[in-house]
């Protein structure tokens, strides 16, 4: 029962019951143990700790122990406070992060954050070239290989392979220095402005995610891909991990941010549900 994601299990089991054993629907709708175990949930989120990676100018994560241990009343108790920038670790960029008047994080419709997803794997090129810009060609190639256009309403995940460097700042960000002077030293792959425009104009996606610190590449100065996507209310998920465990299509993503009223972004817990 370890890998039991109820909704998806049902989807596939009922599909099976439709296609394979029509004669005995009522019995075959009941999940069998060996079928349940062939589904799983994958956590695409880094955790928050002292090692969590933030933008070189952003406030980092701090956890302060309020209490830990036995109490006078005889029970054990532990609790902490924490502080953080909205944009650090695995987080979401709400439209208002780069679009005046755009949706704040609490205003993003949940329907954009839960649903079918695809993955574009550019890791072969992006591991060779730390400044790699994911281009229109990468999307066109995916569509040719999968023999389909990017489905309407998809959540699109971009795999550069750079999450394997996390949390080594020098490798993942391009620098372990901090402060405004470190900005010029940032090197990691991202989405080109042309490809962001293509997605917005030619396809109809719900959200986008990447396994680097930012949807714009490290050397960006105008953050055009942010502006293009967020202006169209397409939220961006950054600092994802475990994208290598996902297929190119046929899985679902559930991305639930902390509900900060008026927030420009927030810590994000994001998972994928798939058939093994």
* Cβ proximity to a copy of itself, 18 vs 170, nearer residue: 18
Q: CA distances (Å), 154 to each of 68, 101, 199, in order? A: 44, 24, 11
Number of residues that bind a copy of itself (CB under 8 A): 79
Burial of 36 (0-12, 13-18, 19+ CB in 10 A): middle
29 binds a copy of itself per the rule CB under 8 A: yes
For 154, the token pair is: 């998809």
Q: What is the DSSP letter of 38?
A: T
Q: Residues 86 to 105: which contact a copy of itself by CB under 8 A?
A: 86-87, 90, 96-100
* Cβ proximity to a copy of itself, 202 vs 259, nearer residue: 259
* Cβ proximity to a copy of itself, 44 vs 210, nearer residue: 44
Shortest distance, position 94 Cβ to a copy of itself, whole Å: 9
193 binds a copy of itself per the rule CB under 8 A: no
- The Cα–Cα gap between 208 and 138 comes to 15
Q: Residues 204 to 263: which contact a copy of itself by CB under 8 A?
A: 221-223, 227, 252, 254, 256-263
For 158, the token pair is: 């971009």
Q: Residues 96 to 155: which contact a copy of itself by CB under 8 A?
A: 96-100, 106, 109-111, 114-116, 153
For residue 22, the cross-strand partners are none
Question: What are the backbone angles phi and psi of residue 4, rounded to the nearest 5°?
Answer: -105, 90
Burial of 245 (0-12, 13-18, 19+ CB in 10 A): middle
* Cβ proximity to a copy of itself, 45 vs 123, nearer residue: 45
83 binds a copy of itself per the rule CB under 8 A: yes
Shortest distance, position 248 Cβ to a copy of itself, whole Å: 17
269 binds a copy of itself per the rule CB under 8 A: yes
Q: Name the segment binding a copy of itself (CB under 8 A); options: 69-77, 133-141, 195-203, 207-215.
A: 69-77
Residues in the chain: 276
* Cβ proximity to a copy of itself, 2 vs 147, nearer residue: 2
Among 59, 129, 168, 184, binds a copy of itself (CB under 8 A): 59
Q: Name the segment binding a copy of itself (CB under 8 A); options: 125-133, 138-146, 180-188, 266-274.
A: 266-274
List of residues 6+ apart from 208 with CB closer than 8 A: 155, 156, 157, 158, 191, 199, 215, 229, 234, 235, 236, 237
């Amino acid at each position: 029962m370890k890998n039991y994601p109820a909704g998806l299990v049902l989807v596939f089991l009922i599909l099976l019951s439709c296609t394979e054993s029509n004669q005995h629907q009522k019995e075959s709708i009941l999940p069998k143990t060996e079928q349940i175990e062939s589904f799983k949930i994958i956590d695409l989120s880094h955790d928050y700790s002292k090692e969590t990676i933030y933008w070189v100018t952003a406030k980092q994560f701090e956890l302060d122990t309020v209490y830990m241990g036995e109490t006078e009343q005889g029970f054990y108790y532990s609790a902490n406070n924490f502080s953080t920038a909205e944009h650090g670790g695995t987080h979401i960029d709400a439209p208002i992060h780069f679009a005046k008047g755009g949706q704040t994080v609490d205003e993003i419709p949940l329907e954009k954050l839960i649903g079918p997803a695809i993955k574009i794997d550019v890791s072969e090129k992006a591991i060779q070239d730390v400044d790699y810009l994911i281009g229109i060609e990468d999307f066109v190639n995916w569509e040719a290989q999968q023999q389909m256009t990017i489905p309407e309403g998809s959540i699109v995940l971009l795999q550069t392979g750079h999450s394997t460097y996390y949390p080594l700042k020098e490798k993942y960000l391009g620098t372990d220095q901090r402060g405004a002077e470190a900005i010029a030293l940032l090197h990691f792959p991202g989405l080109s402005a042309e490809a962001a425009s293509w997605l917005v104009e030619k396809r109809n996606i719900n959200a986008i995610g990447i396994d680097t610190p930012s949807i714009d590449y490290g050397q960006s100065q105008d953050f055009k891909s942010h502006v293009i996507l967020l202006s169209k209310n397409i939220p961006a998920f950054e600092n994802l991990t475990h994208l290598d465990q996902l297929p190119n299509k046929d899985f679902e993503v559930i991305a639930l941010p902390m509900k900060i009223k008026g927030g420009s972004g927030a810590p994000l817990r994001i998972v994928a549900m798939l058939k093994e």
